[in-house]
Chains A and B, each alone.
Chain A
Amino acid sequence: MKITVNGAEREAEDGATVAGVVASVTRAPAGVAVALNDQVVPRGDWPTTIVREADRIEVLTAVQGG
């Protein structure tokens, strides 16, 4: 199935989790947050949240700014 991660379309296996998607883009142990279709997925829910066809996932962290 196809999902979009940080604006880029990619393939994901059936049953893939948000935790798996996050691990594929960053190794940072903290300071990261996830939005799934514009809703925050709390860190504690990452391992049990299954991604589905056409999901849009944003993985954000803090950068220099302001």
Chain B
Amino acid sequence: MEDPLVIAGETFESRLIMGTGGAPSMNVLEEALTASGTELTTVAMRRVDPGSRGSVLDVLGRCGIRVLPNTAGCFTAGEAVLTAKLARDALETNWVKLEVIADERTLLPDPIELLDAAEQLVDDGFVVLPYTNDDPVLAHRLEQAGCAAVMPLGSPIGSGLGIRNPHNIELIVERAQVPVVLDAGLGTASDAALAMELGCDAVLLATAVTRAQSPALMASAMRHAVTAGRMARLAGRIPKRRYAQASSPWQGLSSGG
């Protein structure tokens, strides 16, 4: 079934975008990314560590996965814009997963700083994919600012709480003219399937895979869940009913007894 994800004119067969945080080793990460089938994967920008051995960029290069730098750890628009520009120079991509968080306890997006940073980066020619609250108004404002997608959270980063407000995600999906990527909070395969059933165009996750007991197996589960959820969305689910509706015919019942 031809059903590609298209972001800013770029086409992806996989609707599962992966993060790389939390993996216990580069080998485990590589196995998980391969099992996930992902074609787009996030990295963070940090000070070089002269003692580090093996780079996440080598893993992505070997797997043929496109790199998506993020601005994780930034608390202000200014920090996020500088980080995005550094990532553009280091990684030769103008794509950025924009994260501007409000505090370390919740890691929730700061909506004021986020929108400010998005506007600045769009003006500077970036393809901006903002990690946002599950707020339909903010998502719309980000789209109006020129973001190439909107990426609402299901629940706080790394929490594994799944999608806490499916109704808001549906509202975002209904209105959006750009792809909606469910980003953050997913815990297991059914969460990813639900995101797709709600109409999201893709899912972005890291912790659910990298900190699972078997990351590669969970990556494979997520891959299938995203595909299954997408197919179910396209297929059109039956309406929910209050009472039963027999699927076997009543006609021709024998009158035994």
Residues of A whose CB lies within 8 Å of any CB of B are: 6-7, 25-26, 28, 30-35, 38, 40, 42-43, 58-66
Contacts and interface: CB of A to CB of B under 8 A. Distances in A.
A11 to B, nearest CB: 17
Contacts, number: 96
B19 A65 contact: yes
Given A6-B48, A28-B55, A62 B90 contact: yes
B45 interface: yes
B148 to A, nearest CB: 17
A26 B53 CA distance: 11
A35 B83 CA distance: 9
A40 B50 contact: no
A38 B43 CA distance: 21
A61 B20 contact: no
Nearest to A59: B48
Contacts of B57: 30-31, 61-62
Interface of B: 19-23, 29, 42-48, 50, 55-57, 67-70, 72, 82, 85-91, 97, 99, 206
B89 A62 contact: no
A26 B86 CA distance: 16
Contacts of B67: 62
B44 A66 contact: yes
Contacts of B89: 33-34, 40, 42-43
Given A26-B50, A28-B48, A31-B55, A64 B86 contact: no
B29 A60 contact: no
Given A33-B89, A40-B89, A43-B89, A66 B43 contact: yes
A64 B19 CA distance: 8
Contacts of A33: 45, 86-90
Given A33-B90, A40-B82, A40-B85, A61 B46 contact: yes
Nearest to B90: A33
